[in-house]
Amino acid sequence: MKFVAFERSKQGTGASRRLRITGRVPGIVYGGSAEPQMIELDHNALWQAIKKEAFHSSILEMELAGQVSKVLLRDLQMHPYKQQILHVDFQRVDANTRLHMKVPVHYSGEEESPAVKIDKCLVNHVVTELEIACLPADLPEFIAVDLSGLKKGVSLHVNDITLPKGVKVVTHGKPNPVLVSVVAVEEEVVAPAAAPAPAADAKGKGKGKK
């Protein structure tokens, strides 16, 4: 994806506030051998871009002052209740430096799996995105996972899936995290209605006489 950014000269809270009033979003580009650079973007164009999944998980082409460079979206600061982007951060991409990125997981085929089609199990997507490490050229927009082989009582783990070439999952010490769990749906057993309890004797039957 490609977007256009503009050079920003003024910094500070007041300058950023005035910039937002004009329909622009303050931002910064950092990383690589160059110094951090202050930028601004058109709010409406950026608002439409962030609705696309690829804008968050793929390498972007940023046009700035007539030059195009490759960057990654690293942070978005949103207004607490307005539909407004307050600030945006981008990181420059070095072709020879491995990236750590979170990318979405796209599941498919679960309706055709034995777990769902035959055994009527419930499939729970425990993980909807994965943190991966790879070179920029190998960065996928998403990880595709086929669930057509799911069986009753068997969960799907990270080690069970095939990753794109050059991609490794970062698990932060967890040996083999669960991606998808399969839960059997037990038929509800209706218990018979309990017999009504005998009414208590209004005269206190069973009590000793004075």
Does the pLDDT value for residue 22 go beyond 50? yes
- The whole-angstrom separation of Cα 130 and Cα 158 is 9
Q: Which tens digit of pLDDT belongs to each residue from 168-182?
A: 999 988 889 999 999
Cα(18)–Cα(123) distance, integer angstroms: 49
pLDDT tens readout for residues 133-142:
999 999 999 9
- In this prediction, residue 197 carries a pLDDT of 59
Choose among 161, 145, 148: nearest CA to 117. Answer: 148
- Range ranked top by mean pLDDT from 26-35, 153-162, 189-198: 153-162
Number of domains observed in the structure of the chain: 2
What are 106's strand-pairing partners? 144
pLDDT tens-digit readout, 41-84:
999 999 999 999 999 999 999 999 999 999 999 999 999 999 99
Domain extent, residue 122, equals 99-183
Put the strands of the sheet holding 156-157 in their side by side order.
122-125, 178-183, 156-157
Rounded CA Rg of the chain: 28
**Banded pLDDT at 32 (limits 50, 70, 90):** confident
The pLDDT score that the predictor gives to residue 210 is: 46
Contact 135, 151 (CB under 8 A): no
Range with the poorest average pLDDT among 6-10, 19-23, 110-114:
6-10
CATH number assigned to the domain comprising residue 6: 2.40.240.10
Inform me whether the pLDDT recorded for 33 exceeds 90. Answer: no
Report the distance separating Cα 51 and Cα 64, nearest Å: 22
The contacts of residue 149 (CB under 8 Å, 6+ apart) are 109, 113, 114
Per-residue pLDDT at 12 exceeds 90 = no
Domain shared by 112 and 46, yes or no: no
What is the identity of the amino acid at 131? E
What span, in angstroms and rounded, lies between the C-alpha atoms of 155 and 150?
A: 8
pLDDT level of residue 15 (50, 70, 90 thresholds): confident
Domain end point (choices 57, 74, 92): 92
CATH value at residue 152? 2.170.120.20
